[in-house]
Structures are given as C-alpha cells and as structure tokens.
C-alpha cells in the first residue's frame, strides 16, 4: 500500500491542531450544529437549542474559547452579542466523523 504524503506546512498543521483542540468538546460540537442551522444567535438562544445541560456562564466560556480561536465571530446587537461561524468549512468535521463511522 502506497502512502500519500500531504504537503501541509508546520504552520498549517499547527492551525489545524488548534482548531481541532478547540472543538474537541461535546458541547462545542453541539454549538457548531446549532449555529449551522440557526446563526446568528445569542448565548441564551444557544443554551435553549442544545441538548446538553447548560449554564450561561459555562456557555459563555465555550463561546469565548471558540471566538478566541477563530471558530466563531461576534456581532453586537443592542445589549446582546450574537455568534455566528467565522468559516462554515469547519462544519465539514461532521462529514468526516460520519464517514469514519465513530458511532
């Protein structure tokens, strides 16, 4: 079997690792799914849409981490901060998970 060598730079690999590390939490993956169908949303709306138990402070922590690592962006609307995906290509992770049959 011939192996295929990818030509990713070390910087690109570091970026991918940072993204994967950031989204490697069940609640954050759930946030991605919610934003895929309903963006933009504020923290309260995201909490009401996910199935996991949700405290506003913990949800804010998850969203801040996702924002700081370039997964989501924010937009201030009145008193509320709305979140949406910075790049919808991150959602392709779900296609990868399905094709690997991790369930």
The domain tally of the chain equals: 1
The answer to whether position 4 is within a domain reads no
- Whole-prediction pTM: 0.84
pLDDT per position as a tens digit, 5-42: 778 899 999 999 999 999 999 999 999 999 999 989 99
Three-state SS for 2-46 is: CCCCCCCCHHHHHHHHHHHHHHCCHHHHHHHHHHHHHCCEEHHHH
For residue 61, being part of any structural domain is answered with yes
Q: Is residue 7 part of a domain?
A: no
Residue 34 in domain: yes
- Inside any domain, residue 65: yes
Residue 19 covered by a domain:
no
CATH number for the domain that contains residue 55: 1.10.10.10
């Amino acid at each position: 079997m011939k192996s295929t060598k990818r030509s990713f730079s070390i910087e690109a690999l570091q970026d991918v690792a940072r993204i994967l590390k950031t989204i490697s939490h069940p609640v954050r993956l759930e946030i991605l799914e919610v934003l895929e169908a309903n963006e933009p949303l504020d923290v309260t709306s995201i909490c009401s849409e996910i199935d996991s138990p949700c405290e506003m402070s913990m949800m804010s922590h998850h969203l801040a981490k996702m924002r700081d690592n370039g997964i989501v962006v924010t937009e201030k609307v009145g008193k509320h901060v709305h979140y949406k995906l910075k790049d919808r290509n991150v959602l392709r992770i779900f296609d990868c998970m399905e094709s690997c049959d991790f369930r």
